Amino acid sequence: MLIRYRNRKDLRPSEITPRSAYMNRRDLMAKAAGFGAGAALASGAALPLSGIPVEEAQAATLAFHKSEFSTTEPVTAREYVTSYNNYYEFGIDKGDPGQNAHTLTTSPWNVKVEGLVAKPADYALEDFVKPFALEQRIYRHRCVEGWSMVIPWVGFPLSKVLERAEPSGNAKFVAFETLMRPSEMPGQRGLFQPLEWPYVEGLRLDEAMHPLTLLAVGIYDETLPNQNGAPLRLVVPWKYGFKGIKSIVRIKLVENAPPTTWNLQNSNEYGFYSNVNPEVDHPRWSQKTERRIGEGGLLTKRRETLPFNGYADEVASLYTGMDLRKFF
């Protein structure tokens, strides 16, 4: 996004790793084995290109119901979604998270809910998730860099977590924080630190309570791969992808707008709101169009970017009376 942004016309084929090859390369990793009654451990064998079967990394298959909020647009192939990532804790190139994120231990995992709430708590992930029915939400995902995907998330509304915590009257914003663990996150150690750590994000309370705002624990029917933010990440489909903070360990209700990572990095380029808006260009590139990853070849026409990423009917009223050029 910032450090080594390349104004690509498309992905290079070499940047996309077929799942079979990627599974073959990856170390055997034990993932969080499920979230209570809704999950069952699934483990299979992947056939690598050599033809010799290898143990496939374990992932939990999730039980969920389908949501009315899903788009009917074709879903992006899993290979793209799991190999073309932004997760700077594991490197700044798109392929780095898929290569490196297996070093992250995601079990045990704790999530703190704190700040201006009547019921603060430090939850084991299983207890954090257990009360909520999982749903599949197929959402458009638009990165500020000008590409997009359609991803079948599995999760539950963030509003459920906030309601359980009982926010007090002066809580106006929600702050989120990613894990800080340099021993397992190579981007957090060494001489070159691309961002300030830990990665932090924030929403206004009404945005956080909106029914479209999701806490995801899975994609494509299974628990999240590490490169996509295991075991718990935020998904706000009408905002640029960098609002979707990964590997969350803290959710804090606060009175004032909290700091956010990309805004700290460059406040002229990345605002607090970061709603998808084709009318407000990034200072270094247009936001009017986007390339749908996996769609056609180099000559395929870019798609027009829609206000609020196509979710205007649902969310535009949150911003009535606001100058969205000023509050970008």
Contact pattern from residue 157 through residue 196 relative to ligand MTE, giving x for each residue in contact according to CB under 6 A and a dash for the rest: ---------------------x------------------
Shortest Å distance, C-beta 76 to ligand MTE: 10
Total interface residues for ligand MTE by CB under 6 A: 17
Nearer to ligand MTE by Cβ, of 109 and 116: the residue is 109
Q: What gap in Å lies between CA 39 and CA 222, rounded to an integer? A: 9
Q: Does 244 bind ligand MTE (CB under 6 A)?
A: yes
Q: What gap in Å lies between CA 320 and CA 298, rounded to an integer? A: 39
Shortest Å distance, C-beta 234 to ligand MTE: 8
Nearer to ligand MTE by Cβ, of 167 and 187: the residue is 187
Nearer to ligand MTE by Cβ, of 78 and 164: the residue is 78
Shortest-Cβ-distance residue relative to ligand MTE: 241
Q: Three-state secondary structure along 33-55?
A: CCCHHHEEEECCEECCCCCCCEE
DSSP assignment of 252-288:
EEESSPPP-HHHHH-TTT--SS-B--TTS-BTTB--S
DSSP assignment of 116-177:
SBSS-EEEEHHHHHTTS--EEEEEEEE-TTSEEEEEEEEEEEHHHHHHHH-B-TT--EEEEE
DSSP assignment of 189-242:
SSS---S-SS-EEEEEHHHHHSTT-EEEEEETTEEPPGGGTTT-EEE-TTB-GG
Q: Which of 22, 87, 270, 328 binds ligand MTE (CB under 6 A)?
A: 87
Q: Does 246 bind ligand MTE (CB under 6 A)?
A: yes
Q: Which of 22, 35, 64, 88 binds ligand MTE (CB under 6 A)?
A: 88
Q: Residues, the chain, total?
A: 328
Contact pattern from residue 194 through residue 233 relative to ligand MTE, giving x for each residue in contact according to CB under 6 A and a dash for the rest: -----x----------------------------xx----
Shortest Å distance, C-beta 320 to ligand MTE: 27
Give the range of 20-28, 29-37, 242-250, 289-297 binding ligand MTE by CB under 6 A: 242-250
Element (H, E) at 290: strand 289-292
Contact pattern from residue 57 through residue 86 relative to ligand MTE, giving x for each residue in contact according to CB under 6 A and a dash for the rest: ----------------------------xx
Q: What gap in Å lies between CA 270 and CA 259, rounded to an integer? A: 12
Q: Does 251 bind ligand MTE (CB under 6 A)?
A: no
Q: What gap in Å lies between CA 236 and CA 311, rounded to an integer? A: 10
Nearer to ligand MTE by Cβ, of 87 and 156: the residue is 87
Q: Which of 62, 113, 125, 143 binds ligand MTE (CB under 6 A)?
A: 143
Q: What gap in Å lies between CA 187 and CA 89, rounded to an integer? A: 4
